[in-house]
């Protein structure tokens, strides 16, 4: 018998994958906040140390990381509103799929101008990494 | 046995010269079944069966063909075979379906058709799972009419509008397709699960029932409705087309507003 995977992944639809996306972005944001609280609290230890740490973020790799972080936060925020609508708006469950397309549409609308502005700063030779 | 087998195929077995008036097209399929037998191995494995099936056949007919003609050890539940008893919920091509309501011709017959037991409940053998945790949750929501008034001498009257409120949730056949499609239930077997909430909804919103508050209290538990993450897998899996997630949302709102 040919080797095949151990059981299949459940083939859920939009609802399942938006839930997976919400979970993943939630965990990503949690880890960012952890680091964010630590580096910001450094300012109380010593402003020089804070400046040094924040300065270390000014490179293209972190710039791309920031783009990813904003992408995660924007999705999590809009999809969070969708989940509230599903739970509390009478027609939410009926239109959950359309709401998700709305979320993704808004996500694109938000991300395109942000990425143009952000990445042009990150990769500009003059401001070089911010 | 031959009589049963011949039932869907009887028109086909006639010689070609008999005319093709009622002829049903045939096609070949590969049925890939998740086999598990704890007496042989602790590991579940896939097994392929090559079958020639007819355009009118359902996945259940393919399973019957395997059991009756190829391998009698294949185990699965089925009773009415017409989508009413709720015995043969299984994962077909990765989605929970009733084998008796899924026509083979609606699936991609070029690729193997994957049949697995439903997720989240302990597998006993092949496609048979232990349904006890599922029915335990069902019993806990008290799925019966509780009326504190006097026994009426005639039927309990209800307006069409009052009945309409819970009409959708009366359709449940307790097949467990919804509960076993829920990612929350897979990892947290304590969660009541969609089916129990649907059946609670059926009585909570029934104007003749007096125990709505009690059921809302039960479902306000941390393993109750608040575990629902609105993935809509249940609504999509329900073979009766019940808007399961909508029913769960209605129960959530009833708990918050304490208004039925």
Complex prediction ipTM? 0.82
B249 touches chain A (CB under 8 A): yes
**Complete DSSP assignment for A29-48:** HHHHHHHHHHHHHHHHH-HH
Number of domain units in chain A:
1
| Whole-angstrom distance, CA of residue B51 vs CA of residue B60 | 13
Residues of A in contact with B44 (CB under 8 A): 6-7
How does residue B15 score in pLDDT terms, banded at 50, 70 and 90?
low
Q: Is the pLDDT of residue B137 over 60?
A: yes
Contact B230 A19 (CB under 8 A): yes
Residues of B in contact with A83 (CB under 8 A): 230
Q: Among B234, B239, B205, which Cα is nearest to B219's?
A: B205
Are B189 and B130 in contact, with CB atoms under 8 Å apart?
A: no
B163 touches chain A (CB under 8 A): no
- Identify whether A4 is part of a domain: no
Give residue-wise pLDDT tens across range B62-113: 999 999 999 999 999 999 999 999 999 999 999 999 999 999 999 999 999 9
- Identify whether A97 is part of a domain: yes
- Identify whether A53 is part of a domain: yes
Are B215 and B203 in contact, with CB atoms under 8 Å apart?
A: yes
- DSSP helix/strand/coil, B141: coil
How does residue B12 score in pLDDT terms, banded at 50, 70 and 90?
low
Residues of A in contact with B245 (CB under 8 A): 15, 86, 93, 96
Chain A: closest CA distance from residue B156 (Å): 29
Give residue-wise pLDDT tens across range A9-22: 999 999 999 999 99
- Identify whether A7 is part of a domain: no
Report phi then psi at B17, rounded to 5. Answer: -65, -15
Contact A8 B183 (CB under 8 A): no
Q: Sheet of B113-116: strands edge to edge?
A: B45-54, B26-35, B113-116, B89-92, B95-98
Give residue-wise pLDDT tens across range A46-56: 999 999 998 88
- Identify whether A43 is part of a domain: yes
**Domain hosting residue A50, numbered range:** 16-122
How does residue B7 score in pLDDT terms, banded at 50, 70 and 90?
low
Tell me the pLDDT of chain B averaged across its residues.
91
- Identify whether A117 is part of a domain: yes
- Identify whether A41 is part of a domain: yes
- Say what the alpha-carbon torsion angle B94, B95, B98, B104 is, to the nearest 10 degrees: -60
Dihedral sign for Cα atoms in the order B17, B18, B19, B24: negative
Mean predicted confidence (pLDDT) in B15-35: 78
Give residue-wise pLDDT tens across range B32-68: 999 999 999 999 999 999 999 999 999 999 999 999 9
- Identify whether A86 is part of a domain: yes
Low-confidence ranges of chain A (pLDDT < 70): 1-6, 125-130
Are A19 and A86 in contact, with CB atoms under 8 Å apart?
A: no
Output the domain CATH number for residue A69: 1.20.1300
């Amino acid at each position: 018998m040919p080797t095949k995977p151990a059981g299949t992944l459940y083939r859920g639809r939009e609802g399942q994958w938006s839930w997976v996306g919400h979970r993943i972005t939630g965990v990503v944001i949690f880890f960012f906040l952890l680091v964010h609280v630590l580096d910001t609290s450094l300012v109380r230890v010593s402003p020089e140390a804070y400046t040094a740490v924040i300065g270390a973020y000014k490179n293209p790799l972190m710039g791309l990381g920031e783009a990813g972080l904003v992408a995660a936060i924007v999705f999590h925020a809009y999809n969070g509103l969708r989940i509230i609508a599903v739970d509390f708006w009478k027609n939410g469950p009926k239109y959950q799929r359309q709401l998700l397309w709305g979320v993704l549409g808004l996500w694109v609308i938000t991300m395109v101008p942000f990425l143009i502005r952000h990445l042009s700063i990150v990769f500009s030779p003059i401001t070089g990494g911010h | 046995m031959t009589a049963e087998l011949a039932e869907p195929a009887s028109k086909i077995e006639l010689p070609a010269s008999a005319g093709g008036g009622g002829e049903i097209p045939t096609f070949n399929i590969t049925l890939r079944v998740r086999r598990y037998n704890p007496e042989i191995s602790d590991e579940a494995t896939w097994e392929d069966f090559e079958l020639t099936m007819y355009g009118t056949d359902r996945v259940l007919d393919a399973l019957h063909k395997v059991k009756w003609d190829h391998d009698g050890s294949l185990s699965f539940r089925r009773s009415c075979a017409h989508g009413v008893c709720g015995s043969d919920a299984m994962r077909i091509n990765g989605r929970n379906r009733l084998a008796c309501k899924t026509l083979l011709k609606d699936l991609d017959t070029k690729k193997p058709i994957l049949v697995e037991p439903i997720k989240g409940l302990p597998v006993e053998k092949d496609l048979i799972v232990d349904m006890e945790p599922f029915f335990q949750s069902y019993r806990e929501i008290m799925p019966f009419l509780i009326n504190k008034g006097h026994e009426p001498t005639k039927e309990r009257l209800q307006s069409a509008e009052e009945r309409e409120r819970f009409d959708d949730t009366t359709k449940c056949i307790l097949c467990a397709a919804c509960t076993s499609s829920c990612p929350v239930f897979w990892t947290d077997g304590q969660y009541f699960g969609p089916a129990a909430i649907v059946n609670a909804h059926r009585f909570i919103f029934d104007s003749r029932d007096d125990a709505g508050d009690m059921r809302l209290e039960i479902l306000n538990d941390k393993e109750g409705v608040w575990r629902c993450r609105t993935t809509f897998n249940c609504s999509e899996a329900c073979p009766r087309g019940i808007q399961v997630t909508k029913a769960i949302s209605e129960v959530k709102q009833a708990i918050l507003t304490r208004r039925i």
